[in-house]
Amino acid sequence: MNADYLRLRERLAEVQDLGSAQALLEWDQRTMMPARGSAARAEALATVVKLGFERFASDEVGALLDALGPWAEALPYDSDEASLVRVTRREYDKARRVPVTLKAEIARTAAIAGDAWIEARKASDYAAFRPHLERIVALRREYAACLAARGTDPYDALLDDYEPGFTAAAAARMFEALKVGLVPLLGRIRERAGALDEGVLAGRFPADRQRAFCLDVMRAIGFDDDGFRLDVSAHPFETRMAAGDVRMTTRYDEGRLADALFGCIHELGHGLYESGVDPALARTPLDHGTSMGIHESQSRLWENVVGRGLPFWRFFYPRLQQAFPEPFAGLSLERFWRAINAVRPSLIRVEADEVTYNLHVLLRFELERALIGGDLAPADLPAEWNARMREYLGVEVPDDRRGVLQDIHWSQGDFGYFPTYTLGNVIASQLWERATAEVPGLEAAIEAGDFAPLRRWLHAAIHHHGAKFTGEELLARVTGRGADPAPYLAYLDAKFAAVYGG
């Protein structure tokens, strides 16, 4: 084996370890840390980020990459070695363009802004959060300016961190294509709004019994108690320290079963992806899911295509009836299934149905692009938010808690992340189309509670590769084309004709 390559891998393993330490500090902050730990945690995080960054963006790593370039290019494109050098080169070149002080300042500010967001959201007090948002927008604009090529949209530089190669223009085209299909579909659904009754889902669902049922479902899908954890946090998320150490969170609303249940299935989709990365890639920059669009395709596929599907509930509904006789014992599967798929424009993105969900994302995409482009001041954000909610979804926002303060992303400086949710929906349908074509009896297996065929297909097609390929490359390898909204729109049309049909 090439000695420079081994040296590079050693260096990168240390960087990866610091990344795991960072993930653990962040996980702890969101799940366990008492409130007064906030300021000290922000400093600890900034230091860990700085150390990782200095190790990674070092002259030594640069020299190793230079020396390894010709060697790696002669190897097969999809080999671990060529992929490691190629992906590291791309990340290294980006990292070298951002001053380490700016990186650390973003981490420190995000840690403080995240805690401020939790308090502001609780109190529905946008004014308390605004200075934090102003600071983080300014830092992200500075960051984008380090990376954006002259004359390009600075927002593209931020998108690239989550979905390499994806651009604001491509995202705008995707949303346009979706609007053309979604608006008439929503119209047809509105005409048949009386066809189903969401009220049948009302009940009292104690948190401990919700947790037990969620774990029952997740274990059947692939949650493994030796490799996963499930805890509670204000905003559900999934993170990982290693393929064998996946942390998921949820939150329980005792009046609504659906939030935690579908939230857990969603985060498990992320977790399965992370836990399925080839062990040969451990402690390298390839040891994680490749892009947020692909990541969201995994969570959305399990949550919506599988988890809100009729075959899935043919298996799980009797168990649900047993776990919560009230209100489900006397309710038919059919009425239950239609109710969990009810379409109703609403205030909260993470609780939105499959049809209106992308309109929530579109609104955020437009607003954050304007914030980063300098076309919208944080002071004007709530008014713009509320106006677009009215225009796109026809709902009035009663307070900022259920409006502009509902998502954690902006407090973390995660601008450019939201469009990957919709991209994930689009890709999920493309993958489902391939999976059902390639795996005979896939739906019958799901109906029998056997999720291994789908899990195995996803593992071989997606999970196993880690970050060796970009999202775009991976999608082309699996489907032979790029992101295409057509299968997603066809899926929604067929599904909601059934949900709202006679």
Contact map string, positions 183 to 212, toward Zn ion, x by CB under 5 A? ------------------------------
Measured from the CB of residue 364, what is the shortest distance to Zn ion in angstroms? 14
Identity of the amino acid at 466: G
Report whether 268 contacts 218 (CB < 8 A). Answer: yes
Residues making up the chain, counted from first to last: 502
SS3 255: coil
Measured from the CB of residue 251, what is the shortest distance to Zn ion in angstroms? 14
Measured from the CB of residue 427, what is the shortest distance to Zn ion in angstroms? 13
Q: Which is nearer to Zn ion, 214 or 339 (CB)?
A: 214
For residue 399, what is the DSSP state?
A: S
Stretch that binds Zn ion, among 15-23, 78-86, 277-285, 291-299 (CB under 5 A): 291-299
Q: At what angle do helices 471-479 and 419-438 cross, to 10 degrees?
A: 20
Q: Which is nearer to Zn ion, 96 or 409 (CB)?
A: 409
Binding-site size for Zn ion (CB under 5 A) equals 1
Pairwise CA distance, residues 98 & 139, whole Å: 11
Measured from the CB of residue 4, what is the shortest distance to Zn ion in angstroms? 37
Neighbours of 481 (CB within 10 A): 9
* Residue 224, strand partner residues: none
Contact map string, positions 240 to 279, toward Zn ion, x by CB under 5 A? ----------------------------------------
Which residue out of 267, 296, 303, 368 is catalytically annotated? 267
Is residue 54 flagged as an active site residue? Answer: no
Distances (CA, A) of 451 to 210, 223, 444, 457, 491: 21, 11, 10, 10, 20
Measured from the CB of residue 489, what is the shortest distance to Zn ion in angstroms? 21
Q: Which is nearer to Zn ion, 105 or 267 (CB)?
A: 267
Task: Return the residues of window 56-75 that contact Zn ion according to CB under 5 A.
Answer: none
Greatest CA span in the chain, whole angstroms?
70
Q: Which of 16, 299, 304, 470 binds Zn ion (CB under 5 A)?
A: 299
Pairwise CA distance, residues 346 & 447, whole Å: 31
Q: Which is nearer to Zn ion, 299 or 422 (CB)?
A: 299
- For Zn ion, the nearest residue by Cβ is 299
Pairwise CA distance, residues 185 & 190, whole Å: 9
Measured from the CB of residue 300, what is the shortest distance to Zn ion in angstroms? 8
Task: Return the residues of window 76-115 that contact Zn ion according to CB under 5 A.
Answer: none
Stretch that binds Zn ion, among 293-301, 327-335, 382-390, 427-435 (CB under 5 A): 293-301
CB-based contacts of 197, cutoff 8 Å, min separation 6: 335, 339
Q: Which is nearer to Zn ion, 19 or 293 (CB)?
A: 293
Q: Which is nearer to Zn ion, 200 or 474 (CB)?
A: 474
Residue 420 makes contact with Zn ion by CB under 5 A: no
DSSP letters, 454-496, are HHHHHHHHTGGGTTSS-HHHHHHHHHSS---SHHHHHHHHHHH
Residues that bind Zn ion (CB under 5 A): 299
What residues are annotated to the active site?
267
